[in-house]
Amino acid sequence: MALLGLISEVVGMLDLLHKGIPGDDNSALSDFVHDGKRFILKTRHIAEEAPLQIYCAGLVFAPRTSIIRTNFEADLPRWISQLPQVNEKWSAELQALEGHASSVLSVAFSPDGRLLASGSDKTVRLWDIATGGIQQTIEGHTNWVTSVAFSPDGRLLASGSYDKTVRLWDIGTGGLQQTLKGHANWISSVAFSLDGQLLASSSYDETVRLWDIATGGAQQVLEGHANSVRAVAFSPDGQLLASGSDDKTVRLWDIVTGSLQQTLEGHANSIWSVAFLPSGRLLASGSCDNTVRLWDTATGGLLQILEGHIDWVRSVAFSPDGQLLASGSYDKTVRLWDTVTGGLQQILKGHADWV
């Protein structure tokens, strides 16, 4: 399959095989197939570029306890006298998606979890989550793509760019639907409202704009920040919009009236990311002061300060059940936090540069 350029198809085949294995009596077979899938996902790029090397380089760099490795280790070339140090077992990393020619500034999952969008080198790429294969490369922006977001129905993708525009793309065809113009400086973040009728965009021009998806017209311009606005997020009930800024504040806006409801102060540096808990009760903000803060959206009160990162916190996101918060940082790590206790649950390492 690798020689035919169809290595990604193997992942789907293994998924079907795994689902067809009956009962607990076949746990050994189930484990073997699962390990095979991990092996293919990890070595897919080797197989695509040099198919025959999968029998050598693939096995050499597989974890020590990998079932595939232990079963086929005897087939390693004898000229490899010194094997590299490898992990004991598979890590949390499933696969690395490679293809962009520069830094990836934003990623977003589709609502059905089947696609991942990434924004980077003037392009947006759509990836198949199951196989890691590129589905589409969307071109049109004339500068870096800084932010991407799927519409709630999964039919549209919004992208914001340093070219000062927001673009709406049809997911099915990759075709451009609309170009939204109005910002006077770089676009830093985009977000859809839960009903999919509005899109918010933040900019280095110190404003947030609300756009009507149906017409492409600007509904409101939210002004008040004293520096670049880095991030925006809608509350789950669609009544509030949060914006984080280089002026060290988070602001909560009424979507209907455009009025400022609260200003959350406490960070000692720029705020680069904001996210609402699925219930809407909490808001998380990530800052260049190396901390994440959790705020009560009803009162504006500070609930917790999550400390541990040793460099700027660039992104934050809650798990769907609201029990965990993920934070990505310039310290090259992702940290998982318990949203109730504020305790650190895991540190995910592997990136060679900032997250």
Write the pLDDT tens digit of every residue in 239-284: 999 999 999 999 999 999 999 999 999 999 999 999 999 999 999 9
Q: Is residue 28 part of a domain?
A: yes
- Do 232 and 299 reside in the same domain of the chain? yes
Q: Is residue 206 part of a domain?
A: yes
- Do 242 and 129 reside in the same domain of the chain? yes
Round to whole Å and give the CA distance between 164 and 232: 16
Q: Is residue 94 part of a domain?
A: no
Q: Residue 4: pLDDT band by 50, 70, 90 thresholds?
A: low
Place of tokens 């492409």: 216
Round to whole Å and give the CA distance between 230 and 219: 20
- Do 290 and 183 reside in the same domain of the chain? yes
- Do 56 and 146 reside in the same domain of the chain? no
Residue type, 14: L
- Do 250 and 117 reside in the same domain of the chain? yes
5: left (phi over 0), alpha (psi -120 to 50) or beta: left
Q: Is residue 166 part of a domain?
A: yes
Token pair belonging to 174: 């990759």
Task: Give the pLDDT confidence of 65-110 residue by residue, as tens digits.
Answer: 999 999 988 877 777 778 888 889 998 888 888 889 999 999 999 9
- Do 49 and 110 reside in the same domain of the chain? no
Round to whole Å and give the CA distance between 89 and 33: 16
Report strand pairing: 198-203 vs 229-234. unpaired
The pLDDT of 162-191, averaged and rounded, is: 97
- Here the CATH number for the domain that contains residue 288 is 2.130.10.10
For residue 54, the enclosing domain spans: 7-75
- Do 110 and 65 reside in the same domain of the chain? no
Round to whole Å and give the CA distance between 58 and 184: 49
Round to whole Å and give the CA distance between 339 and 89: 29
- Do 197 and 279 reside in the same domain of the chain? yes
Round to whole Å and give the CA distance between 98 and 108: 16
Last residue of a domain, one of 54, 75, 96: 75
Number of separate domains in the chain: 2
- Do 70 and 138 reside in the same domain of the chain? no
Task: Give the pLDDT confidence of 6-40 residue by residue, as tens digits.
Answer: 677 777 788 888 888 876 566 888 899 989 899 88
Task: Give the pLDDT confidence of 189-246 residue by residue, as tens digits.
Answer: 999 999 999 999 999 999 999 999 999 999 999 999 999 999 999 999 999 999 999 9
Q: If you count DSSP H runs as helices and E runs as strands, how many of each does the chain have, helices first?
A: 4, 24
- Do 68 and 151 reside in the same domain of the chain? no
Q: Is residue 101 part of a domain?
A: no
What is the phi/psi pair of residue 123, to 5°? -125, 160
Last residue of a domain, one of 75, 95, 114: 75
Q: Is residue 100 part of a domain?
A: no
Q: Is residue 90 part of a domain?
A: no
- Do 292 and 217 reside in the same domain of the chain? yes
Place of tokens 């990393």: 93
Q: Is residue 93 part of a domain?
A: no
- Do 164 and 310 reside in the same domain of the chain? yes
Round to whole Å and give the CA distance between 191 and 158: 8
CA 347 to chain centroid: 16
